[in-house]
Amino acid sequence: MAFVKTPPDLKQPDIQLHFLPFGYIIQPHSRSAITAYQPKQNAMMITITLCKPKTRGTVSIDTQGNALIQHQLFSAPEDMETLVKGAKLAEHIYQQPALAKHTIRPCSPETLITDDEAWRQYIRARANISYHFCGSCSMGNDPSSVVDEQLRVHGLHGLRVMDASIMPIITSGNTNATVIAIAERAADFILG
């Protein structure tokens, strides 16, 4: 794993790279949505994650009481541009002598991508939402916030929210340590 600043002058990293091995025993004839494009041999991949996405989705409830989750992926154009920079960086890492001598062929994308628009198309086709959801019950005192500074839901007595959903903006890294701290603080509030 690495945290990277795609323009070096940023104060904080904007990309997290995950270096993942593939050692799956996958039958050559297996065809699932997840494994269809993956090599049927030992391999590795680099995944790219936005540290501070600008895109904001919504969570609402319809008249039947069903949750409506709209991710609105790439509604902030700068998220796409940051991912393009991250993809180009991953490609550059693969081309370094230490890895290049072990690279037989690119598996995904199947051919080298040479321009930003092709990277955008590839990212749109393959991107997904994963890990560390937050912000659906954000803390604050503005009209869009859900909980106050003691994690109490505005307008409801006796109800608190104490998980990553209260964070108005995601942390730069993984959220687990922050969620533990939120839970500890919530316990203090409840116990008095």
Owner of token pair 């108005």: 168
Cis peptide before 13 (omega within 30 of 0): no
How far is 50 from 72, CA to CA, in rounded Å? 15
Structure tokens at 182: 């939120």
Question: Rounded to an integer, what is the distance from CA 82 to the centroid of its chain?
Answer: 13
User: Side-chain half-sphere of 47: how many Cα atoms within 13 Å?
Assistant: 12
Active site residue 92: no
Which among 29, 92, 102, 132 is annotated as catalytic? 132
Residues acting as catalytic residues: 132
